[in-house]
Structure 1
Amino acid sequence: MELKRAVLVSALLCLALSRGALSQRAPIITIETPAPAPAPRHVDLAELLSLAGPYGTFLDYLTKTDVIKTFQSQANDTEEQGGHGITVFAPQDSAFAAVDSAALSNLTADRLRSLMLHHAAPKYYPLSVFSALAASSTPVSMFAYSVNVTDKAGKTGVVSGWAAAKLVSSVYSTRPVAVYALDRVLLPKEIFPTAPEVAPVPVPAPAPVPGKAMDAAPGAGAKDNAGGKSSSSRVGTGRLLLGSLVLMVSGVLV
């Protein structure tokens, strides 16, 4: 009887100890997995050039030579991924129209591709750095060959071989992509041994100055008045001569 009681007490003690151990078990910690960072928004260069304005000829050449793929890949390679961005110098349609068509149509496929690669640098350059680049006189490396940046009277220029282009405007400039408009096609001597025939850039007509039209009107009127006076004088003189002749003839007849 005593043995049964001892076994029962032991069983109860074990049950109590096991319940206490379960109640003191460490709480389960749940770790939340952070949501993946959103993918960076890439600039579609073909769409940008298509919508931005007069860059259809440049875009056609980029597409024809597959250089647009090289540029787009560089644009997508952000700094977070170890890239340096891209700076595209886009000649306007008028710039291509000014170049002798034979100079471009006679280029081999490889030379035409190199010419397009020559219009972008594999690095992002904001407008703020161009003055420093010009002052340093350090050539800027493009995807093919290099160019020199100039800064005269606050106007940025890009010089390459036979061409001295002006930076007309900033089409797009947000890291890691910059696109700038040029008024000339860059013509490196590595591609063009002799200078291609290029039409001069048309000089824009000066804007009208307020008051000039009003100033010109009185001058024109003064000329008209002077002309009117001169005409009246000639008519009066003719009449006097005619009267004198009539009097002379009358005297002779008498």
Structure 2
Amino acid sequence: MENIMFFAFSCVVILLGSSRVNAKTVVSPSVSLTPTPAPAPASDFVNLTELFTVAGPFKIFLGYLESTKVIETFQDQANQTEEGITIFVPKDEAFSSLKKPSLSNLTAEQLKSLLLAHALPHFYSLAEFKNLSESNPISTFAGGQYAVNFTDVSGTVQLSSGWTNTKVTSSVHSTDPVAIYQINKVLLPKAIFGTPPPPSPAPAPSPDIAPVADIPSGADGDNALSPKSPPPPSSSYRIISWSILNYIVLAVSGAFISFL
């Protein structure tokens, strides 16, 4: 009986030992983890207010943009669209030299349209204006009736709004999606101000007046202004005259005598 119990106990011990060995030799299947891709870096936010403040003398233009809320329209176009934006910004001197017409007489909507006409709803580098000039007129942010015409002359970009002719004087910022170019005049749309007056004609040249000859200092005033009297006849002239008269008298006398 004891032998049977010992044998059973030995079998149990052997089975438990073998199960532990098998448990150690079992290799759990490897699990491959797919790495999560890193998020794409967010594009840098372009602060137009900061650019206008730091880049140049654009205080007046920025003031108009902020008072009309047009700066928000430009800001959304720059940072929330794939097209980007191109802005033509007049420097402060362009506004101070603007005498007629005056922006103070514009309505709120007209002023807003004028500011929107200073931007294109797309990013354009300076090199692209040559091809852009072949597609004139180009619609601005204000719409087709506020279109501008571009001309590229040997790398100098010129633009016309129908009333104003100006040119790009410097590149303030030109990194996609925002391009800002300085111009030396305010773009006055033809849709607001009408047809510009024709240029005034050049003054007629004054007629040339011959100078009056100087009067000799030693000459008498009356004698200098009056015409010269003819010179008296010479003595030879008087002799010839008397000779002719004598011949006439003799001829008449001879004819009278022969008649008698």
TM-score range, shorter chain: 0.5 to 0.7
**C-alpha distance 101-43 of structure 1, shift in aligned 2 (>3 A):** farther
Indicate yes or no: 2:56 matched with 1:53: yes
**C-alpha distance 154-15 of structure 1, shift in aligned 2 (>3 A):** closer
Q: Distance in 2 between matches of 1:101 and 1:9?
A: 111
Q: Which amino acid aligns with 2:96?
A: A
Partner of residue 9, structure 1: 14
* CA positional deviation for 1:14: 1.8
Q: Which amino acid aligns with 1:45?
A: L
- Whether contact under 8 Å (2:162, 2:195) holds in the other structure is no
Indicate yes or no: 2:116 matched with 1:113: no
* C-alpha RMSD of matched pairs (Å): 2.6
Partner of residue 157, structure 1: 158
Indicate yes or no: 2:15 matched with 1:20: no
**TM superposition outliers: structure 1 runs of 4+ over 6 Å:** none
Partner of residue 64, structure 1: 67
Calculate percent identity across the aligned residue pairs.
45
Structure 2 residue matching 1:125: 3-state secondary structure = coil
Gaps of 5+ in 2: 199-260
- Whether contact under 8 Å (2:61, 2:92) holds in the other structure is yes
Which of these two proteins has the greater Rg computed from alpha carbons? 2
- Any residues of structure 2 matched to 1:30-109 within 5 Å, and which? 33=36, 35-77=38-80, 83-100=82-99, 103-109=102-108
Q: Distance in 2 between matches of 1:137 and 1:178?
A: 20
Partner of residue 136, structure 2: 138
Structure 2 residue matching 1:96: 3-state secondary structure = helix
- Whether contact under 8 Å (1:92, 1:183) holds in the other structure is yes
- TM superposition score normalised by structure 2: 0.65
- Any residues of structure 2 matched to 1:218-229 within 5 Å, and which? none
Q: Distance in 1 between matches of 2:54 and 2:197?
A: 30
Q: Distance in 2 between matches of 1:180 and 1:188?
A: 18
Structure 1 residue matching 2:131: 3-state secondary structure = helix
Q: Which amino acid aligns with 2:124?
A: Y
Gaps of 5+ in 1: 198-254
Give the count of matched residue pairs: 191
Q: Distance in 2 between matches of 1:53 and 1:10?
A: 89
* CA positional deviation for 1:31: 6.1
Residue by residue over 1:41-84, the C-alpha shift from the partner in whole angstroms, topping out at 9 and shown as x without a partner, is 2232112112222211111111111111111222223xxxx511
Structure 1 residue matching 2:89: 3-state secondary structure = strand
**C-alpha distance 196-15 of structure 1, shift in aligned 2 (>3 A):** farther
**C-alpha distance 189-102 of structure 1, shift in aligned 2 (>3 A):** closer
Higher helix share: 1
* CA positional deviation for 1:142: 1.7
Q: Which amino acid aligns with 2:76?
A: S
- Any residues of structure 2 matched to 1:197-216 within 5 Å, and which? none
